[in-house]
């Protein structure tokens, strides 16, 4: 808005310099880019991120399987760990030795984290594995993927705004430096005696 008011104020002002008008036009162009280009960039980046992440969600759901594991025994060490992928971050997990059967039919045994408060031998719980029975993290869900896509779009829009503003500041800085250089040249032409009585007579 300052750019528009600046252009209006300077349009018929006899004190208006070419650089003043140019600065106002640069500010107006930057404002238009921020209002038009930044949302477009954010929308494009967010859309691309959404497509990529949703494809990743589909791939993970196809490749990862929820299988039933059976507790062999509870293991010593860090008995309670927080599941970093849990929605609340408060799901407590206990490290156990467990048996499970992979989707391909192979039988496995290993250390896994069980969502059981007091696991006893024979207790059953669910774990995520790949087709061969190797334990994997739970697949990414659609809502989380959409959230990441929105954040990517907002980040891209803010980056575009920052670049436009940095470009505007750089252009104005160069214009001001050029203006000061012209002033220095004008003072040099006036000479060291400018303003003294009787100079030039």
Grouping H, G, I as helix, E, B as strand and the rest as coil, residue 121 is coil
98-116: pLDDT as tens digits: 999 999 889 999 999 888 8
Grouping H, G, I as helix, E, B as strand and the rest as coil, residue 8 is helix
**pTM reported for the whole predicted model:** 0.65
State the pLDDT confidence band at 11, using cuts at 50, 70 and 90: low
Give the residue with greater pLDDT, 106 vs 79. 106
Of all residues in the chain, the percent with pLDDT exceeding 70 is 78
Neighbours of 163 (CB within 10 A): 14
43-54: pLDDT as tens digits: 999 999 999 999
pLDDT at 170 over 80: yes
- In terms of Cα–Cα distance, which of 145, 158, 148, 149 is closest to 39? 158
* Mean per-residue pLDDT over the chain, rounded: 82
Phi, psi of 112 (to 5 degrees): -140, 165
120-168: pLDDT as tens digits: 898 899 999 998 989 999 999 999 999 999 999 999 999 999 999 999 9
């Amino acid at each position: 808005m300052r750019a528009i008011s600046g252009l209006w104020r300077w349009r018929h002002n006899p004190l208006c310099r070419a650089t003043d008008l140019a600065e106002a036009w640069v500010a107006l162009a930057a404002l238009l880019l921020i209002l038009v280009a930044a949302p477009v960039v954010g929308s494009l980046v967010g859309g691309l991120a959404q497509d990529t992440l949703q494809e990743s969600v589909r791939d993970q759901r196809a490749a990862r399987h929820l299988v039933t594991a059976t507790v062999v025994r509870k293991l010593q060490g860090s008995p309670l760990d927080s599941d970093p992928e849990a929605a609340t971050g408060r799901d407590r997990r206990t490290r156990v030795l467990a048996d499970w059967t992979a989707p391909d039919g192979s039988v496995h045994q290993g250390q896994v984290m069980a969502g059981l408060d007091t696991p006893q031998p024979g207790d059953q719980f669910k774990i995520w594995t790949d087709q061969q029975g190797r334990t994997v993290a739970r697949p990414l869900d659609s809502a989380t993927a959409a959230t990441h896509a929105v954040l990517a779009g907002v980040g891209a829009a803010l980056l575009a705004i920052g670049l436009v503003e940095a470009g505007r500041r750089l252009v104005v800085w160069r214009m001001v430096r050029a203006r000061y250089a012209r002033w220095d040249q004008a003072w040099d032409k006036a000479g060291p005696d400018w303003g003294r009585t009787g100079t030039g007579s």
